[in-house]
Structures are given as structure tokens and as C-alpha cells.
Amino acid sequence: MSLHQTTFYSNELQMNTTAVVILPESKVGNDVPLQAVDHRLPVVWLLHGLFDDESMFLRYTSIERYASDTGFAVVMPRAERSFYTDMAAGGRYWHFITEELPQRMRFFYPLSLDPHKNFVAGASMGGYGAYKWAFTHPDRFAAVAALSGVMDVTQFGQDNPNLVPDWSLIFSQTDLHETPADINYLATHLPQNQLHVLQTVGTEDFLYQMNQAIRPVLATAFKERYTYLEGPGNHDFKFWDHQLPTIMDWFKTILLNKEGTK
């Protein structure tokens, strides 16, 4: 496999930014066979949390090994503390992540454009970003997964002012319920889709109750395409690294099922 740190200029952000990309390669003996120039890889867009950056999963989990085991490319972009939104007083991270980033990464790397081969996941703030992206554009992905996601961004801001003292820089209002920034709102206003959704959270996580509250909404919206997992664990990398291989295997199963129906 190969690991790439790509620094490039973003038109949306009006500055240079960085993404880390993992490309899987299968060895035959001691050699890596060359792929055809038109070969396009299935891809997982993996989003970081509030206090981290694009290096988060690479530093604290075994995501390289999981990518190699499943054959997925993995793209990990930098989104600062944006909550994956066009900030009230900051960068246009929503348009950067959802529009510009995929185009630039597919220009640089052999990543598939096929929605059946595109998946998105994230942890904490990244879980919120992953659901927001997939629920806003369900035609672009086969599946989405949130690890300990911020499922109610308004409640998160109200309950944790010490964690988001920069709230007014991120959002232009304090109550985001019933807006396109609200996961509940997005899940209940989805167009017809075939999106698969996975939610996982540790039973000792400070966001556990918030994740419980959204479960009936997701179960109603996605029915048999909704999967919920929990287990002992906190809001930390120990739990997320334990869950990541399960999520990557789940993505792989969905990919193989999609390919089998073609």
C-alpha cells in the first residue's frame, strides 16, 4: 500500500490545505502488480473530530492495515473546527469537503466516482459531518458510518460551551433544530434512497444519550438498512480503533453485495 500527504490550494478556502490518502496495493510475492491506468478504487472518506486534524486516524488507529485488508482507498481531509459547515466567520468547509475535495482527490488519485463504491465515515464531529454529507447527498454514497457522532449539534453546543467557545464563529445561530444542519431534520426529509447507515457508540461515552435519542429516527428513516452497534467504551481512540475494522468490513460487504447485483 502507499501513503500520501497532499498539500494543495483550495478555491473554497482560499488557502493551502492538506489531505492524507491511503491507497491499497496487493502484493504477489514480493511484487506489487501494476494496475491498469483506468483502474478506479473504492474509497472511504474519513472525517476527523473537533480537536484533531487529517492525521488523527493515521496516528491513533490502524486504519492503514484496515484499508489494506479491505482494498479501500481512504481519504482523510483537514476541516479544522468547522463542524463541516460553511462557517459564520471562517472557511467554506461544507463546500470544500462535499464539492471541491472529491473533484481534486479524483484528479490526483485513482478514486471511483461510482456511488456504489463511495463510503463516508467519521468520529465525533466527524460522525456529524459524515451523516450530514450522506443525508444531504444520499445519491453519492453506498453507506455511511458514525463513530460516537454528535447527533444533535444544538444540544452539543448548549451542553458543552467549554468545548466550543468558538461557536459563534462556526454557526450563525444557536438553535439549529429543523435546519439543514440538524441530523434529525435531514433524516426525516430524505429523498428516496438506498443508503445504508451504521451508528456505533460506547456505553460510557458522554454522547451516549444523544446517540440513543436519534436511534428511533434513523430506524424509521432507513429500516432494514440501519445498523446500530454499541459496546463498552468511552469517547476515545481505544473504542474507535476497536470499531473501525468492523465498519470497514461492513463497507466491504455492502460493496460486494452491490457488485453482485450488477
The residue type at 114? D
Q: Is residue 30 part of a domain?
A: no
Q: How many domains does the chain have?
A: 1
Q: Is residue 188 part of a domain?
A: yes
The residue type at 259? E
- Distance between CA atoms of 261 and 28, rounded to whole angstroms? 29
Q: Is residue 83 part of a domain?
A: yes
Q: Is residue 31 part of a domain?
A: no
Q: Is residue 53 part of a domain?
A: yes
Question: What is the pLDDT at residue 39?
Answer: 81
Residue 211's CATH number: 3.40.50.1820
pLDDT in tens, 97-147: 999 999 999 999 999 999 999 999 999 999 999 999 999 999 999 999 999
Q: Where are the alpha helices (DSSP H) in 53-182?
A: 56-60, 63-70, 93-95, 101-108, 125-136, 153-159, 167-170
Q: Is residue 219 part of a domain?
A: yes
All three cell numbers of 18, joined, read 492538506
DSSP 185-224: HHHHTPPS---EEEEEEETT-TTHHHHHHHHHHHHHHHGG
What residue ranges of the chain have pLDDT lower than 70?
A: 26-38, 261-262
Question: What is the pLDDT at residue 34?
Answer: 65
Q: Which range marks the domain in which residue 235 is found?
A: 2-25+38-261
